[in-house]
Amino acid sequence: MNIPKKIKQIRKAKKMSQQEVADKMEMHRVQYTRIETGKAEPTISTLEKIAKALNVEMSDFFKEDDSFDINSKDKTLIEKVRLLEQLDDKNRTSIYTLIDTAINNKKLRDSLSSALNL
């Protein structure tokens, strides 16, 4: 799986420049270029920002084939689950791990917020 290559492929399919993506992310273009060329490894948070800037799901970066839906944010949740079920076990497990992490982070933030407000 080559995430930088996939990011570049999606960006080009969307007919966006590196500068446009970097601007939407509020990131310097040079740093974005380093991510897209594989010279810098993005964090999950950065991948989320890139996905948002490109208006795709972060899961699109993890697909091993060359197919992706550049309008995946427009799909309903049921359609997304159907697409998720088509992934191989390794990719599906990666997505489930990302989802679990996001949910656990939200629960932790909510718990800490409640504790601080007592």
Tell whether the torsion through CA atoms of 19, 21, 24 and 29 is positive or negative.
negative
Confidence band for 13, pLDDT divided at 50, 70 and 90: confident
Confidence band for 18, pLDDT divided at 50, 70 and 90: very high
Confidence band for 114, pLDDT divided at 50, 70 and 90: confident
Q: What is the pLDDT of residue 84?
A: 82
Tell whether the torsion through CA atoms of 90, 87, 45 and 114 is positive or negative.
negative
User: Which one has a higher pLDDT value, 29 or 85?
Assistant: 29
52-72 CB burial, b ≥16 within 10 A, e <16: ebbebbbbbbbbeeeebbbeb
Shared-domain flag, residues 4 and 51: yes
Whether residue 86 is predicted with pLDDT greater than 60 in this model: the reply is yes
Shared-domain flag, residues 93 and 50: no
Shared-domain flag, residues 4 and 43: yes
Whether residue 67 is predicted with pLDDT greater than 70 in this model: the reply is no
Comparing 17-26, 57-66, 93-102, the range with the smallest average pLDDT is 57-66
Structural domain that includes position 84: 74-118
Q: What is the pLDDT of residue 1?
A: 61
Whether residue 95 is predicted with pLDDT greater than 60 in this model: the reply is yes
Contact predicate 51/57, CB 8 Å: yes
69 in any annotated domain: no
| Boundary of a domain, candidates 35, 61, 87 | 61
- Domains in the chain, number: 2
